[in-house]
Amino acid sequence: MLIVILALGIANAILFTWVPAVGSRIFDALDCNFEKLAHGQVWRLVTSGLLTNPASYGHLFFTLLGLYFLAPDLERRWGSVRLALFLAYAVVAGNLTVLAVDLLAPVDAQARFHPPAVFGASAAIAAIAIAWARDNANATVRLFLVVPIRGKWLLWATVGIALLDLVFPTMLAEGVVAPLGGVAVGLLFGGRPSLARTLFLRTKLLFLQRRTRSLTVADVLSGRRPGRARSKNPLRVVPGGADDEPRKRNPSSNDKRYLN
């Protein structure tokens, strides 16, 4: 993923500098443009997270640094597939949060709350920081490679930075509220067990407890599942069979005793 972001960042910078028409077409095909998103181009919710500002190498550098800072530790614990899905969820959540604010904010609100298109991975970086902090509440990490900070304080620092983007008149390529979407994904799917899994297991437990309240001794002895009606079967068990006298049997009749 780091290689893809780095390659796209350098390629877009070269194209925007030397062949701006081509660079604009490629960039516009991958960013999260809300007008085009409304026409069914849903891949933009994910591909926008792979883009960085082609006019500044700083955005590319800090994106790579933010992903590499804590993601390798999560990848060792979760595996590559789960981490990739987690990052995709975070980017999608960040874009949907920006879209929701764009729809709910007044028309005359600040322009930073009505971006026509967004791109970048700040939501994924925020989600990684929250997830790592939940897994390592008492571990120490160096913030920005300099400041030592414990995991539980990193969680609150990440939330605080996301809120500061709303206070100061900053413009983020990802949208000023995108990190909040990443924070939500980190809280839901980070930690052991994650909040999402905990809610799922508790819901399942309540469902099982509700079913067992209607369980009777007859259900246990018969093996029938509680709460499920018996199926209507035209066949029935009747006395008869091997004990009947052979001469009284009539194979051509519809007597269901011959099913025994």
Give yes or no for a contact between 204 and 212, defined as CB atoms under 8 angstroms apart: no
Q: List the structure tokens of 147.
A: 């400041």
Locate tokens 């605080």: which residue? 160
Per-residue pLDDT tens over the stretch 129-188: 999 999 888 888 877 667 788 888 999 999 999 999 888 887 889 999 999 999 999 999
Residue 88 lies in a domain: yes
Q: List the structure tokens of 217.
A: 């001794």
Residue 168 lies in a domain: yes
Buried b (16+ CB within 10 A) or exposed e, 190-212: bbeebeeeeeeeeeeeeeeeeee
| Domain span including residue 130 | 2-192
In eight-state DSSP terms, residue 148 is E
Q: List the structure tokens of 33.
A: 């443009």
Locate tokens 């499920």: which residue? 228
How many distinct structural domains can be found in the chain? 1
Per-residue pLDDT tens over the stretch 29-62: 999 999 999 899 999 999 999 999 999 899 999 9
Residue 180 lies in a domain: yes
Residue 57 lies in a domain: yes
CATH of the domain at 30: 1.20.1540.10
Instruction: Give the pLDDT confidence score for residue 16 in this predicted structure.
Output: 92
- Strand pairing partners for 149? 141
AA identity, residue 26: I
